Structure 1
Amino acid sequence: MTQISADPAMMQPATNACAVPSYLSRTYHWAYLSHRTLPWLDREWVVSAILWGNARRLMRAAVEEFAPGQRLLQAACVYGPFSRLLAERVGCTGALEVIDVAPIQVANARRKLDGLVHAEVRQGDLARPDCLAAESHAAVCCFFLLHEVPPVERACIVHNLLGAVEPGGKIVFVDYHRTRPWHPLRPVMAQVFRWLEPFAPSLLDADITALSPRGEGFEWTKTTLFGGLYQKVVGVRRG
């Protein structure tokens, strides 16, 4: 179980607000920064295959936590129909804001949300304190982002997202988790993480709720899915 004892606000990465983080360029250029691979990866059947047929189930598990009329923040763009599902969930009486650090992802998400006037996509580095400093939301969703960032940036992102939740509001994390020992995909996922997702193993045993001291101000529930391979962590801010 991982816990950050220092205030993550003191550990913010020293990068330009508009710059793509170096870890993203080094590790995930092929997945998120390439104009060649983006059209192939952003297909629903590809997303479903990556998540072993659980994509729709996991998306529904997240979307059902939110309600029409809410002001909802989505942390980072997601391949597939997820952003549109969130926008449809909050409806025209609500608002969806999507923030991603990669310009190519921002442009792609805007294309997919075209015509939904209550949905907005902008560029920003969620690991930086100034990205969300003046904003508050009734709801925040972080869907399969944390396993793709190094531990320090991960703690910063969680810290900043928790700070963006208004009193009584809700935050939802959906991501990878340590599988049950008997899970048939356990050795397969170990190799996937080794070669494609190098930051994921540090998340598997981490307690997301303890990555920021702000977590103490929330009531938390956690459920696991698909033999423990995935987790949904929901927090409601007290007050």
Structure 2
Amino acid sequence: MTKATAEALDPTAADAPPSADHTIPDYLERTYRWAYLNPRTVAWLDRPAVVSAILWGNARRLMCAAVDQFEPGQRVLQAACVYGDFTRLLACRLGEQGDLLVIDAAPVQLDNLRRKLAGHQVRTRCADLAAADPGIAPGGMDGVACFFLLHEVPPAARRRIVDTLLASVRVGGKVVFTDYHRPACWHPLRPLMALVFRRLEPYAASLQAADIAALSPRAAGFDWRKTTVFGGLYQQVVAVRRR
């Protein structure tokens, strides 16, 4: 699919600078400025080796498991930018006939994504997925990839994001959530991860205690499947919209 064709299908989703009234979400400014809004930190964190270390060597495994849920030629929305190789892997999976749109609330993240994926067919748009109207046409996507986003947003915003992502897929389309999960009681990293979450990820514990399938009233219209890996520390939740 050419860029011109993609824009004709959904002109609101084409690459464009942030609107004049766009603001960074308060929780992002307050909690994650150091990790996502500082260009120097972005350049340091956006390295496969760093991402692999953060995910205890599971980054490639988790990325490939998510990417494999999609098919070449599909139209897919990626919810927020992702450090490391995830977007590149997803774009390669969809191929030249596919259409990948990445939406993020932070212009610096989108600028960084465009630089590192130069030459790949990836569209970007600056918008807050938790906003009342993020500008996504209902039912327009074959699939959605949400990779380690939900643990970084407050519960109210999380519910709005899940609802928006579910609404964006067509009948038969799927939403793939990959994120943290409550580890088994015997997991040797459980105390350390609890400390990390208290210090650096204040919203992660609420996700561990939640069922993603219960976060949206649209959930009843989907078939849900959940798998966990690495002693339950990570989860993949796949929601397929019923016909």
TM-score by length of 1: 0.91
Could you tell me which residue of structure 2 aligns to residue 127 of structure 1? 130
Could you tell me which residue of structure 2 aligns to residue 224 of structure 1? 228
Q: Residue 41 in 1 paired to residue 45 in 2?
A: yes
* Residues 129 and 160 in structure 1, CA contact (< 8 A), matched pair in contact too: no
Aligned mates of 2:208, 2:133 — CA distance in 1: 28
CA deviation after TM superposition for structure 1 residue 134, in Å: 2.1
Task: Report Cα offsets for 1:59-115 as digits up to 9, x if no partner.
Answer: 011001000010000000000011011000010111000000000001011112211
Instruction: Report the count of equivalent residues.
Output: 223
One-letter amino acid of the counterpart of residue 199, structure 2: W
Could you tell me which residue of structure 2 aligns to residue 153 of structure 1? 157
One-letter amino acid of the counterpart of residue 134, structure 1: A
Tell me: CA distance 1:147–1:105, structure 2 relative to 1, closer, same or farther (3 Å). Answer: same
Aligned mates of 1:80, 1:231 — CA distance in 2: 19
Task: Report Cα offsets for 1:25-65 as digits up to 9, x if no partner.
Answer: 11000000001211110011000000000000000110010
Aligned residues with identical type, % of pairs: 63
CA deviation after TM superposition for structure 1 residue 17, in Å: 6.0
Could you tell me which residue of structure 2 aligns to residue 166 of structure 1? 170
TM-score by length of 2: 0.90
Task: Give RMSD over aligned pairs.
Answer: 1.1
Could you tell me which residue of structure 2 aligns to residue 75 of structure 1? 79
1:110 aligned to which of 111, 114, 121: 114
Aligned mates of 2:58, 2:215 — CA distance in 1: 26
Q: Residue 99 in 1 paired to residue 103 in 2?
A: yes
Mark the runs of 5 or more structure 2 residues left unpaired by the alignment: 1-19
Aligned mates of 1:155, 1:17 — CA distance in 2: 24
Aligned mates of 1:191, 1:34 — CA distance in 2: 24
Dislocated runs of 4+, deviation >4 Å: none
1:201 aligned to which of 178, 202, 205: 205
Could you say which structure has the greater relative contact order, defined with CA pairs below 8 angstroms and 6 or more residues apart?
Answer: 1
